A and B are shown apart, each in its own frame.
Chain A
Amino acid sequence: MMDRISVRTLFFGVYGELAARREGSAELAADSTVADLVEALRGSEGLDWLPERVVVAVNQSYAEAGTVLSDGDEVALIPPVAGG
């Protein structure tokens, strides 16, 4: 059993601009949830603006705050969408 997992983070739209990066990675304790990741990101440098209730997709599907993350997951931070 791994103690730590690593996930890839993606920042789209205005979040990419605010974060001054399009992607990154985060290390978390095993069994961490989406909410744990968001909390960790909000506490990291340059990401304090990230809303607590940000919309997140895990491996290209919308995910709930309680979704448990796995090593290697792709987690996208989704600002309000504006297609059409």
Chain B
Amino acid sequence: MSQGSDDRVRTWITRESLDDFAQFEDIVRAIGSVADGALLFFQGRVRRTNRGRAVSSLTYEAYGEMAERELSAICREALERFDVGSVAAAHRVGDLELGEVSVAIAVTSEHRDAGYAASRWIIETIKVRLPVWKHEHYEDGESHWVGAPALEAGTSPGGAPFE
């Protein structure tokens, strides 16, 4: 009797803190298996500087229902691509302070190689597919939507490369 992917993936988009590792450990114990000898945990945190500017805080905006759907799809795809047992992933929205966790990914696998590969693939895929946007506030009082160019006459916001 094998578990379907529904039982082995847990994803959510939240305004609540993701700083506490224990919540992921509980989930991974619930959806993972004793067949898995490795647990890999990744946290992305709000960093002090971005592209040379001092960040004071930031705000994440998400296309709520689509982000929920897309994060789940990414993690299910990871189960198909890699030899991993379970995946839990969550992304914050709303206002975050420096050092707070913005994204967290837990992967269990029988062996470590697949876990490292899957975790890396999930975060890279989140960065290109998840409909979430970051509004950075800087210590000098300015703010900027990441991925958007400085607004100058005649420039197109869509012309900026992904970051």
Interface residues of A (CB under 8 A from B): 10, 12-15, 17-18, 49-55, 57, 60-62, 76, 78-84
User: Would you call B132 and A80 a contact (CB within 8 A)?
Assistant: no
Residue of A nearest to B163 (CB): A82
User: Would you call A15 and B131 a contact (CB within 8 A)?
Assistant: no
For B61, list chain A residues within 8 Å (CB). 12-13
Q: Which of B60, B131, B145 contacts A17 (CB 8 A)?
A: B145
A35–B131 Cα distance when bound, in Å, is 20
User: Would you call A79 and B123 a contact (CB within 8 A)?
Assistant: no
Do A14 and B103 contact each other (CB < 8 Å), given the known contacts A60-B63, A80-B162? no
Interface residues of B (CB under 8 A from A): 44, 60-63, 65-66, 69, 91, 102-103, 123, 126-135, 145-148, 151, 156-163
A55–B148 Cα distance when bound, in Å, is 14
Q: Label chain B's interface by main secondary structure.
A: mixed
Do A49 and B133 contact each other (CB < 8 Å), given the known contacts A12-B61, A81-B147? no
Q: How many A-B residue pairs have CB under 8 A?
A: 95
User: Would you call B158 and A53 a contact (CB within 8 A)?
Assistant: yes
Closest 6 interchain pairs by CB? A51-B158, A13-B133, A80-B147, A83-B132, A14-B145, A14-B148
A81–B67 Cα distance when bound, in Å, is 11
For B145, list chain A residues within 8 Å (CB). 13-14, 17, 79, 82
For A78, list chain B residues within 8 Å (CB). 63, 131
Given contacts A14-B148, A84-B123, A84-B127, 5 further A-B contacts (CB under 8 A): A12-B133, A15-B157, A18-B157, A81-B129, A82-B134
A53–B156 Cα distance when bound, in Å, is 11
User: Would you call B127 and A80 a contact (CB within 8 A)?
Assistant: no
Separation in Å of the A59 CB from the closest CB of chain B?
9
For A60, list chain B residues within 8 Å (CB). 63, 65-66, 69
User: Would you call A80 and B160 a contact (CB within 8 A)?
Assistant: yes
For B127, list chain A residues within 8 Å (CB). 81-84
User: Would you call A83 and B157 a contact (CB within 8 A)?
Assistant: no
Do A14 and B133 contact each other (CB < 8 Å), given the known contacts A51-B159, A54-B158? yes
Separation in Å of the B155 CB from the closest CB of chain A?
8
Separation in Å of the A23 CB from the closest CB of chain B?
12
User: Would you call A12 and B148 a contact (CB within 8 A)?
Assistant: no
